[in-house]
Amino acid sequence: MKPSPKSAGETAVPVVSGPAARTGGGPTVSRPVSSAAEPGQPETRADRKAAEAAEAGAEPALFAEPLPTSALQVRPPESEVERRNHEREQAANAKPVAPRVFQVILAIFYPVVLLVLAIRAVTSPLFLWVEYYRPGFPGDGYGFNADDRMTYGSYAVDYLSNWAGPRYLGGLVNQNGEKLFKDGEVAHMADVKTVMLSAFGAGTLLAIIGIIAMLYLRKRSKGGIRRGLFAGSIITLVLILGLGTLAMLGWQQFFTDFHEIFFANGTWTFALDDTLIRLFPGQFWMDAGLAIGVLVFLTSLLTLIFTWPTRRRRGLSPKKNAAAKTAEGESTDEEAELEAEPLEK
């Protein structure tokens, strides 16, 4: 048979098969091999697809593979940079809901707990001793001296914080063997005890919840405790200044309105010779209110000072360093990332 003519661009290459491939002898078989790539032939997959589409006269595919030069390393437009910066700033400032809730709880509970602690400090034998023995405190016109007041007043104060029944005061007698407190006085002290124990219990519960909130914020929110206490101190100062202003404008009316909130009419008024009035005259209640206000005010003021959001506490760099960086033209990390981010056409 005659061999078929070779097409242009093909050459016969001898191929050795069989045993001859190992020994070097035997027949050879010629195979056509394409010559070197023609000039202008596409070398990449994208170029081949583009060439095939051009030869077929068809429009390029809708989702054609981009050419290697389609992604240019250029800076995005300023509007795009601002939009991305705004989105990243929103994402960075977005915080979980739970830390915010615990900060609000801490801010609301702080004034209540502080007020309850101040009341507890006043209802103590120490405050009684300071009052009865301080110069200028009015004496008793019916025979009680400072020692008598300290003894009988301590029973009344202790009754407010213990779990004893009304007989704790009802069974007391004076030096003449007469009942120290009348039935109406004992009933009023029982009402006061109910209010005080409720306040102490509520303050303890709120304090426990506040501690839990602080433990959570310490782990999950940097600076959350400081922000919660800062807001709580502001609320406390506003409340105590408002109440203090009302008390100074009219103490008697303030004292009456306070009692009418917690006690029924006619159950908290007594004669001048009753034991409760002799132990706790009007001056005592004015001093007690002043002491509570001062304690709450000073504590909240110190809290405000120690939690004030300075640049260091907020974790911000000093102004001088920031100004120096700006003057040197240093770009932020976000701008650097945007500059390095490719913009696809």
Name residue 53's amino acid: A
- Dist CA 172 CA 279 (whole Å): 14
pTM for the full predicted model: 0.65
Residue 292 is inside which H or E element, if any?
A: helix 282-306
Report the pLDDT value the prediction gives residue 19, as an integer from 0 to 100: 44
Q: What does the domain layout of the chain look like in residue ranges?
A: 96-313
pLDDT along the chain (345 residues), means of 10: 46 45 46 46 65 62 53 68 81 77 94 96 94 94 92 95 93 90 95 95 96 92 91 96 93 92 91 94 95 96 92 64 49 46 41
- Dist CA 124 CA 128 (whole Å): 7
Cβ neighbours of 127 (radius 10 Å): 17
- Dist CA 112 CA 142 (whole Å): 39
Cβ neighbours of 248 (radius 10 Å): 11
Distances (CA, A) of 277 to 194, 203, 207: 20, 28, 34
Residues paired with residue 34 on neighbouring β-strands, in sequence order:
10
- Dist CA 197 CA 205 (whole Å): 12
111, 239 Cβ separation under 8 angstroms: yes
Task: Say if residue 224 is exposed, middle or buried (CB neighbours under 10 Å; 0-12, 13-18, 19+).
Answer: buried
What does the block give as tokens for 1?
């048979």
Report the pLDDT value the prediction gives residue 338, as an integer from 0 to 100: 44
Cβ neighbours of 181 (radius 10 Å): 25
Distances (CA, A) of 202 to 205, 232, 292: 5, 17, 18
CA 99 to chain centroid: 4
- Dist CA 77 CA 332 (whole Å): 17
